[in-house]
Structure 1
Amino acid sequence: MELTETHSLPVPQARAWQALNDTEILKACIPGCDSIEADGENAYAVGMTAAVGPVKARFKGRMELTEIDAPHTYTIVFEGQGGAAGFSKGSAKVNLEPGENAETTTLTYSAHAQVGGKLAQIGSRLVDGAARKIAGEFFKRFSARLQGGDESQPAQNVAADEETGGEKEEKGKKSWTAWISKS
């Protein structure tokens, strides 16, 4: 699986770099993330729950930051085990550049991942789609957090919108994060 995207962040480059290296911010912004704990220099143990199609599992893994050139770029090398659901491993190159003005940053990443076990059996289209949804939700939460909001619990926001007649989500449909957080 390969995934390449660009996002505009509402903060200067130094602030974006600081946030991308703050484990509390990352834990709050990564959908299904239960824990991120230091596991050596520039390395972290990660626990999260994820669902891809019919396969739902709790993954335990490790990520390490390499090729660090603060505040411009680094590479994240990751691997995770989900028991019977399978495994994932890969890397993501993250680049930060000043945005159109001094108050914005352009983040570009290119991720390459391999999955095995039941995850590999369900097909690359479902795996790619799930990865894009998780990345999209991460950047939605991350941008909101950088702007001073807290999007770490969007499932609760959806329920509140449905009660008040808000139109953020179609009535009767649940967000992706509501679906994966049922486990």
Structure 2
Amino acid sequence: MTSALILIDVQRGFDDPYWGKRDNPDAEANIAALAAGWDGPLVLVRHDSTTPGSPLRPGRPGNAFKSEVDGLAADLVFGKEVNSAFHGEVDLDGWLRERGITGIVLAGIQTNMCVETTARVGGNLGYRVRVVLDATFTFDLEDLTADQLAHATAVNLRGGGFAEITTTAEVLGRA
């Protein structure tokens, strides 16, 4: 089986205090390790927010990729305005199928938003989906902490049969 590594929304705008308290301070290091150790198709997805004042709006410094992924020799780079990477500027499903890719490995920002939504859609489309939980992060939301949201995402994806939950070490064969 051929898998693609899809790095979702690894953008500078997520460093903005606008978002609040986050979890997993090691996420960027794990994302960089995944990208450096990956031997297969690599996809970079960028969130192009349409929300006024968002740090992720096109044309703002926060829309740029973080240093961990900026400049990588990706096979595909594109933007999206919604949560799922399958609903962006390009037909990701078509791109993957044209290349015989049947599995996707997901990492990036935010765990419970764009990563989870992409995993759910990918699972519904029949891909073998693996979410590298230690290479994601999110922020406190309403009355839940970022840690609680990440845990809930893992339970929902695994329990709902959408995705396997894994680690950077497992994906890179170091576990």
Query: Above 0.5 in TM-score?
Result: no
Instruction: Give the TM-score, by structure 1 length.
Output: 0.32
Structure possessing the higher relative contact order (Cα contacts under 8 Å, 6 or more residues apart): 2
Instruction: Give the TM-score, by structure 2 length.
Output: 0.33
